[in-house]
Chains A and B, each alone.
Chain A
Amino acid sequence: MKIAIISLIIVIGIFIFVIESVRRGILETKYSIIWILTCLGIGILSANSSLINKIADVLNVYYAPSILFLFGMLFLIIVVFDLTRRISKMNQQLVTLTQEYAILKQKYEEKGQHQQ
């Protein structure tokens, strides 16, 4: 189960990176939750080969470590979808802000003209 060991090392690496990013204020705490949970989940799966074998047995998977890939990919899909949702929301906020700015600027310049 070499892949499981590599996977565990990578997961621990990512985990440290996530915690360090939060500590330095680069990543907001609320966005780190999903990463921490996944690191824990994949970490437990990687470290525990009997658990993987059991799940593989139940799901009729012949090559047990591919369960890691399955969970990894599911996680990625969730994160990417979450990101597109956040981008949509930010885009909306940006448009509103831009409109507000343009209207205020017009008002400001109109006032400037009256004073001249």
Chain B
Amino acid sequence: MNKVLIIVPAYNEEEAISNTLYSLLHLKNEHPSLDICVINDGSKDQTSKIVKRFKDVILIDLPYNLGIGGAVQTGYQYAYRHNYDIAIQFDADGQHDANSLQRLIHPLQKDEADMVVGSRFLKKTDYKGAFSRRVGIYYFTLLLRSLAGQTFTDPTSGYRAINHKVIKIFANTYPKDYPEPEVLIHLSRKGLRIQEITVNMTNRQGGHSSITPFKSIYYMFKVTLSIVIQRIVKE
């Protein structure tokens, strides 16, 4: 198996992070070439302390909160410097299912894709999200379909795996806030192959979502603008 790095960005996740790490370490027992790297994004709670107890987990402490984009990018930079073949973004809050990980990296190992996104909507899964959230996600699907010409059923999914080529790109440039949908058009414009596979996601196992109603309006607006701008910039 190739060298794989699992990047777990964490901001105030003291309630859920232990269980997430246990499930990932369980996987590492079977595949020793797997490394787990937690990016503590300036948490104000015990997240860093809790992660320090896990000796087999790499912990990178950011001195203040960079936001999800900056935090994940730190992980990609670490992956790039340590020559990982594959990097996986994995949420700390327990929404992502560690058992899907093998299937997620499979297309990368066979060189069928440069990025694989775990989707909740490709086939019917157990996912139960709020109606408003589903509408928002579907809006991005339509926007990306018209601008990138590819259908992404779950463009906001943070469960994704990338190969070395994309690690290099992300280590250099990665959007700062709400990066997920924006990245898709960025890569598709570069002619890289993006594939979706079905994964199960549960609702978060503790802690709080970072997206409030007011932020979600800003989210829609900011991401729309970035996607449209990505479409018109010259490569």
In the complex, the answer to whether A99 meets B61 with C-beta atoms within 8 Å is: no
How would residues 65 to 82 of chain B score, 1 for a CB under 8 Å from any chain A CB and 0 otherwise? Answer: 010001001100110010
CA distance A110 to B59 in the complex (A): 10
How would residues 92 to 104 of chain A score, 1 for a CB under 8 Å from any chain B CB and 0 otherwise? Answer: 0001001101110
Q: Is A106 an interface residue (CB 8 A)?
A: yes
Shortest CB–CB separation between residue B61 and chain A, in angstroms? 6
CA distance A95 to B70 in the complex (A): 7
List A contacts of B66 (CB < 8 A). Answer: 95, 98-99
Q: Which of B59-105 contact A (CB under 8 A)?
A: 59-64, 66, 70, 73-74, 77-78, 81
Shortest CB–CB separation between residue A100 and chain B, in angstroms? 8
Q: A103-B77, A103-B78, A103-B81 are in contact. Are A98 and B60 (CB under 8 A)?
A: no
Shortest CB–CB separation between residue A98 and chain B, in angstroms? 6
In the complex, the answer to whether A98 meets B81 with C-beta atoms within 8 Å is: no
Q: Is B58 an interface residue (CB 8 A)?
A: yes
List B contacts of A102 (CB < 8 A). Answer: 39, 60-63, 74
Interchain Cβ contacts within 8 Å, total number = 34
Interface size on B, residues (CB 8 A): 16
In the complex, the answer to whether B62 meets A98 with C-beta atoms within 8 Å is: yes
Secondary structure of the B contact surface, majority rule: mixed
Q: Is A86 an interface residue (CB 8 A)?
A: no
In the complex, the answer to whether B64 meets A99 with C-beta atoms within 8 Å is: no
Place the interface of chain A in its size category: under 10
In the complex, the answer to whether B77 meets A98 with C-beta atoms within 8 Å is: no
Q: Which of A80-114 contact B (CB under 8 A)?
A: 95, 98-99, 101-103, 105-106, 110
Give the interface centre of A95, A99, A101 by most chain B CB atoms within 10 Å.
A99
Q: Is B123 an interface residue (CB 8 A)?
A: no
List B contacts of A101 (CB < 8 A). Answer: 63
Shortest CB–CB separation between residue B88 and chain A, in angstroms? 18
Q: Is B176 an interface residue (CB 8 A)?
A: yes
List B contacts of A95 (CB < 8 A). Answer: 66, 70, 176
Q: Which of B14-43 contact A (CB under 8 A)?
A: 39
Q: Which of B58, B63, B64, B73 contacts A106 (CB 8 A)?
A: B58
Shortest CB–CB separation between residue B200 and chain A, in angstroms? 32
CA distance A95 to B41 in the complex (A): 12
CA distance A98 to B66 in the complex (A): 9
In the complex, the answer to whether A99 meets B70 with C-beta atoms within 8 Å is: yes
In the complex, the answer to whether B59 meets A99 with C-beta atoms within 8 Å is: no
CA distance A114 to B7 in the complex (A): 23
Residue of B at shortest CB range from A106?
Answer: B60
Residue of B at shortest CB range from A105?
Answer: B61
Residue of B at shortest CB range from A91?
Answer: B176
CA distance A100 to B39 in the complex (A): 13
Residue of B at shortest CB range from A113?
Answer: B55
List B contacts of A103 (CB < 8 A). Answer: 60, 74, 77-78, 81
Q: Could you write out 9 A-B pairs with CB less than 8 Å apart?
A: A95-B70, A98-B62, A99-B66, A99-B77, A102-B39, A103-B60, A103-B81, A105-B61, A106-B60
